[in-house]
Amino acid sequence: MKLLAAAALIAALVPAVPTGPAGASATAGRAHPDAPQAAAPNSCAAPSNARLRRPDAHVRERNALTPSESANVEQRLGRALKNLGLGAMDRPDDQSTPTDLRAAGKISVPVYFHVLHDGSTGNVPTSVVKRQISVLNASYGGRYGGANTRVTFHLKQISRTDKASWFNEPERYEGTYKPKLRKGGKGTLNLYSARIGGDLLGWSTFPWKYKSEPKMDGVTIHYGSMPGGPIDNFNRGFSATHEVGHWLGLYHTFQDGCGGKGDRVSDTPAERDPTNGCPSGKDTCPAPGNDPVHNFMDYSYDTCMTSFTAGQGARMHKVWAAYRR
């Protein structure tokens, strides 16, 4: 479920971020004084799990979901929740709401961070890894101005692998390094950093894929998108925030565009296209509300991103109960 320099990323690949006008979604909020400032999100692009540097770039989006595919996912999710006695999510009016989050407990996620590198290139220091985990906790804890989703992350271990092929071609070799490096079960986040080519900033797997491909579960991010990294406009650590959102079951804010059921969250306005940059007043759909350009699940610049909504937090908890608990 962001791009580089002038772009954004999707499970989820990280959202893409274009250099042109933006048009994203999100609840605007006052940023935490110590938090990195974010730029405004862009317009919606086709749903995907990868974050791109430029939403308008012609790139292959991993794990992109068509409206019919997302409808099928929601039907299965609804059945799983019914079996758990938690209600359905496959009715026309059934979306995650802010009220649902107030009834949720807390989710604590152990994290194994895998640094892939080529000699000194990409061998990010432990201090940067710890800053990345801090950014995740600030993002999901509402400290940049959004809702506190009641999801926290705890760094368990850092592994380092000096292998040029894995580092420089992480997509090509993920079927090799993930089974060798991955640790923990379905509720454990394995986060990999590498050099990602093209316009991608990262990608993620969705939680409903875990049962069929447990060894492939996890999130991969461009090492340059971590806090203080070299990718202009995308170096505050929010590519990881975006991709982990996919890992927790969130769609892009522009899922299904202006039609269908969107991202299945009631408090994120519909958005036709991914956002580029940090535009003000972006409004691509006739439904009420401007595009959520400040939302972590759009493709805006890191300097524009500030928040998850309470409805997104509620969805994370429902999906967690169905697939990761």
Question: Which residues carry out catalysis?
Answer: 243
Enumerate residues 6+ apart whose C-beta is below 8 A from 165.
172, 173
Contact 18, 8 (CB under 8 A): yes
Write down the H helix ranges in the chain: 67-83, 98-102, 126-140, 164-168, 170-181, 238-247, 310-319
For residue 321, give the DSSP letter: I
Classify the phi-psi angles of 264: left when phi > 0, otherwise alpha if psi is within -120 to 50, otherwise beta. left
Q: How far apart are the first and last CA of the chain?
A: 20
**Cβ atoms < 10 Å from Cβ of 323:** 20
